[in-house]
Amino acid sequence: MASKGLEDVEATSSKVCYIDGKKGILSYRGYDIKDLSDNSNFEETSYLLLYGELPTTKQLDEFQKQMKENRNIPESVISIIKSSSKDTELMDILRTSISALASSDPEYKDNNHEVRIRKSIRIISKIATVLAVVERTRKNEELIEPNNSLKHAENFLYMINGEKPPEKDSEVLDKCLILHADHELNASTFAARVTVSTLSDVYSAVTSAIGTLKGPLHGGANERVMEMLDEIKEPDRVAPHLDNLLENKQKVMGFGHRVYKTIDPRATILRKLAEEMSSKSPNKYFEMSLKMEEIMNQKKGLRPNVDFYAASVYNMMNIPKHLFTPIFACSRSSGWCAHILEQLQDNRLIRPRSDYDGEIDRIHSNIDSR
């Protein structure tokens, strides 16, 4: 019998990311996620994912230089963004914009390994700019040029808000980008690997991944968490709200995970970040989140996943909830590209089988006799 949702099916071997769901371990290229969030930054982590090793100072300087040089996006893509309807979802615009970037890539038709790495760097750099342009356009505000004196996370906040962000916000967002950068063979990463296994191009694979991440059971879950907190409104309403959801067998967003049988290690790090931020400026969303975690653990034995505390953290940085999932895409682009590169290093077309359980040996009958 087929495993529904391919649960626990090992579809490939990979050196990019390791998860032990029973022990709550997550590592990139052998480096524990807490070690990276404490000591690395998004640019260095992206280098690690793409190349498999931490960079030297010279290598990191060159990598950051390439990222900064590739931040700008062409006018043709800006025109697509500006022509999009106000009702179009941001993830749809992001998906279309990344696809459109392919036509302006100077090495679009070249597909050797080194070129694919350069394309990956362009995508990781430009996707943040695309999102900033979308956000500023939606608010009818003047577009902000990338500031190449700023690092990736800091520049992203600068392009969205039009002013240099507080240092703490830049540090926190940088950690969030690291935490979301990869997560083994999740749905969007699998979609990217399936796409590129046909020998399609890097841009097509990332476009597939963005379309997959859009779904509320994947990247869209963080927005649903914030919507739930907005609906609850106050800490003293947490318990009755959860009771109502559980009694009606409704899903509580941000709890449980297909892989982790204990707490998601990323949620532990995000909870600590939220606690630090809330200690300086009390936040009711974090207070509600703590109460929800306690109740869900007591009543259902469920622990929070990465989406749960990400909502509180982003809220405390004044990032609107409609940007939660697109920011997830900006971060995960580095992981997608790492998996794309790995797939193409030893490629075989991904073509699984299905377990047919329909009828057989049926005979066609004339339409008038049916």
- Report strand pairing: 17-20 vs 31-32: unpaired
For residues 22 and 44, membership in a common domain is answered with yes
For residues 169 and 263, membership in a common domain is answered with no
Nearest to 3 by CA among 349, 354, 257: 354
CA atoms in the 13 A half-sphere facing the CB of 48: 20
Q: How far apart are CA 265 and CA 257, in angstroms?
A: 12
Question: Does residue 1 register a pLDDT over 80?
Answer: no
Q: How far apart are CA 226 and CA 48, in angstroms?
A: 31
Q: List, in sequence order, every residue forming a beta bridge with 27; answer none if it has no partner.
A: 18, 32
What pLDDT, on a 0 to 100 scale, did the predictor assign at position 356? 93
DSSP string covering 215-230, please? STTTTTHHHHHHHHHH
Number of domains composing the chain: 2
For residues 152 and 138, membership in a common domain is answered with yes
In a domain, 118, yes or no: yes
In a domain, 357, yes or no: no
For residues 69 and 100, membership in a common domain is answered with yes
Q: What is the CB neighbour count within 10 angstroms for residue 282?
A: 9
In a domain, 25, yes or no: yes
pLDDT in tens, 11-50: 999 999 999 999 999 999 999 999 999 999 999 999 999 9
> In sequence order, which residues have a C-beta less than 8 Å from that of residue 320 and are 6 or more positions away?
none
SS3 category, 43: helix
Q: List, in sequence order, every residue forming a beta bridge with 31; answer none if it has no partner.
A: 28
Q: What is the mean pLDDT of the chain?
A: 95
For residues 236 and 198, membership in a common domain is answered with no
Q: Are 348 and 196 in contact (CB under 8 A)?
A: no
Nearest to 193 by CA among 11, 357, 325: 11
Select which of 307, 322, 355, 364 is catalytic.
307
Reply yes or no on whether 307 is catalytic: yes
Q: List, in sequence order, every residue forming a beta bridge with 28; answer none if it has no partner.
A: 17, 31
Query: Can you tell me the mean pLDDT for 127-137?
Result: 97
Question: Does residue 3 register a pLDDT over 90?
Answer: no
Q: Which domain holds residue 274?
A: 221-316
Residue 52 CB burial class (10 angstroms; 0-12, 13-18, ≥19) = middle
Cα 139 versus chain centre, distance? 23
> What letters, b where the CB count within 10 A reaches 16 and e where it falls short, cover 235-260?
beebeebbeeeeeeeeebbbbbbebb
Q: How far apart are CA 318 and CA 69, in angstroms?
A: 28
Query: Can you tell me the mean pLDDT for 195-206?
Result: 97
User: Which residue has 């996370």 as its token pair?
Assistant: 153
pTM score, whole prediction? 0.95
What pLDDT, on a 0 to 100 scale, did the predictor assign at position 30? 98
In a domain, 85, yes or no: yes
For residues 251 and 133, membership in a common domain is answered with no
Query: Can you tell me the mean pLDDT for 237-260?
Result: 92
In which band, very low, low, confident or very high, does the pLDDT at 281 lie, cut at 50, 70 and 90? confident
In a domain, 279, yes or no: yes
In a domain, 38, yes or no: yes
| Helix %, strand %, coil % of the chain (to 5) | 60, 5, 35
In a domain, 157, yes or no: yes
For residues 202 and 283, membership in a common domain is answered with no
For residues 39 and 23, membership in a common domain is answered with yes
| CATH (domain of 302) | 1.10.230.10
Q: At 113, which amino acid appears?
A: H
Select which of 257, 264, 339, 361 is catalytic.
257
Q: Are 301 and 160 in contact (CB under 8 A)?
A: no
For residues 48 and 166, membership in a common domain is answered with yes
| CATH (domain of 208) | 1.10.580.10
Q: How far apart are CA 142 and CA 123, in angstroms?
A: 23
What pLDDT, on a 0 to 100 scale, did the predictor assign at position 237? 96
For residues 201 and 340, membership in a common domain is answered with yes
For residues 29 and 164, membership in a common domain is answered with yes
Q: At 77, which amino acid appears?
A: V
For residues 82 and 186, membership in a common domain is answered with yes
Report the percent of the chain where pLDDT is more than 90: 89
In a domain, 363, yes or no: no
In which band, very low, low, confident or very high, does the pLDDT at 219 lie, cut at 50, 70 and 90? confident
